[in-house]
Structure 1
Amino acid sequence: MLKINIIIFMILAAATVFTHTRVDRYEKTGPDLLTGQWMGRPPENSPSRRADVKENAIALFSDDPKAGVNIYQEISGLDPGTVLEFFADMKCEDVKPGEKPWNRARVLLVQNDHKKDRWDIPHLVASLAGTLGWETYRVFFPIHPETKKIRVIAQLSQSTGLLELKHIRLYPVSQARVYTWIRDGLLFLWTAFSFLLIGSCFVMGQKRMVLRVLLVSALIAIVFGTTMPGEMRTLVLNDIKTWVNPEPHPGNSSPDQWDLSKIGHFCFFAVFGLILCLMMPMVAAFQVMIIILLLAGGTETAQFLIDGRTPLLGDFFIDAAGGFSGIMLIRSTPMNNQ
């Protein structure tokens, strides 16, 4: 049964990666929203700061870490639910970050509801430091229902160095119909695969209803948490982070929320591994670990297809470590070894 699960996993993973890399996700629905009218430029005679704007290209320079450079464009009249694609080639030279995590060479798309900037909504296009060659950045931003205007920002935020952008574009887009069909089909198959794994555990394990219910509950929690759309996930994590720390710095994409999600990854898979071992006491630990690895790999790979989510190898290893801890917690107890 495990061999069949491994083969199915490999087929689904290959199909998912192919879809992510080869099938166009969005198609343009309107003209470029950006103009050459960038605001906030430093004085032309400033010796320490410079913002050179040419046709579809920007170069920001600063050697004043206290001031930096910040230019922007504002765009209003966007319909709620619109998806914007920001596209640009960027490079930086000798960018020295400031004291805060956000004091770097950055490009942002910030949404505003006429009362405040919504830093709780995904806004980061790129955050650069050091010297990096030309690289293409392509990021999609859904417009929040409360958004009245957006501000596209290029900045050296209390940092020094050179930031260059070219081929800058901002288009309204919509999801391509073919991609939607393929994505929905693959997500359905990934969900079916997850429950197939559980079914194999039912076949190999004890028929105790309590353990089966707990196992299915743990699976649902893992699938829901790891495949939650990015915007929803960000809002949930921000609510928790606000409850823990009610005074975060605006605009700071700090690592706190990521640390919180890592803890969740570890704990859920630890519980899953623990329940698996209780349910399958006669199954070898390495077979239990294979089931955990397949589930961890599946939930991460499926994130290629979910808006606002990115599969991370680090998350896979955290999931695996959590599952392994759950296995060891049960298999290393004297009662289990008797």
Structure 2
Amino acid sequence: MESKFKKSYRFAFRTSLLITLFVTLLVGVFLYSLMTPPWWVIPSFFISTYFFSFFVVQFRVQRFIYRRVKKIYDDLTLLESASISKGAITTDMRTLTQEIDKFARDKKIEIETLKVREKYRKEFLGNVSHELKTPLFTVQGYIETLLDGADKDKKLRRKYLERASKGIERLGYIIKDLDMITKLEVGDLSLKTEVFDIVELVKNVFEMLEMKASKKKITLTFDMDYDQPVYVRADRERIQQVLVNLVVNSLKYGRVKGTTEVSIENLIKNKVIIRVTDNGEGISAEHLPRLFERFYRVDKSGSRKEGGSGLGLSIVKHIIEAHDEKIYVESEFDVGSEFSFTLEKARAPKKKSENPVVEKTESAS
């Protein structure tokens, strides 16, 4: 809110005129009833009365209003008292009303925002607690069983130790991913920007996840044959992590004998868009706005059919935003989902070196 208002004389002008007309008329009738005064008396009285009234209304009444308006400002803590005292408060109360209405609207929005954030905070803490305690209690249970005497059975001992190891591994994934997100948010994670072929990178990801896809008989494919390389400028390792997370996500919720398809399209002159599409379970529209939140689960039962830290999509979003790019999601329940993100196009690197050329290192701020 501004500390100075537009000064208005309308109220003082109109009020002074009414007072002057009334007093002049009253005095004029009184004088003419007693005697006939000189012609200049009534105009002089009118002018002097008007200026006196204007001064009283504009400055004295304004001062009266100022004190009360200042108290309102002090109570609402909108402005510092020092800044108020330097400026005149207008007698036009419309401005004050507008400013108070604006203050009320802003506070209402602020309160609603705080309520939403508090709700998200509680959900986040609950999700973190759930994600950590599940593997922790699993490990604790197996270890306690071994301590109670099950360690004498070699087969059972090895079986329980292997399961405890998987629980520790799950905890490690969660902590590692949380650490990465934190670094991305505060800008401590550097991006090693280089020029590379995105088509080749997608093929590498397909080969990496071929065994995982074969378990559900899901086909990993391009939308078309890419005979020519498509060069982009980004952090190769981080973009590979993005692709892996998106493809793994499509495999988790994909249909048996389904398809995960990757397409690469020219978006604008210096941008390409990479789409990862599947024909899996799909996501209801109500969940899409919060899909990239940490630990947010579409399945409210809290159970997970697949492993993972629950931070994959959140990491994807932070990596893409660290590149100053955009990520999008479109999905229809029981039909499938499409995740897409943009990257900066680049010219083919020189053929002097087979390895991609590292151009610069940027901070992921």
Structure with larger RCO (C-alpha < 8 A, sep 6+): 1
Same fold at TM > 0.5:
no
Higher radius of gyration, 1 or 2? 2
Q: Specify the TM-score bucket, using the shorter chain as the normaliser.
A: under 0.3
TM-score (norm 1): 0.23
- The structure richer in strand per residue is 1
Instruction: Please state which structure has a larger fraction of its residues in helix.
Output: 2
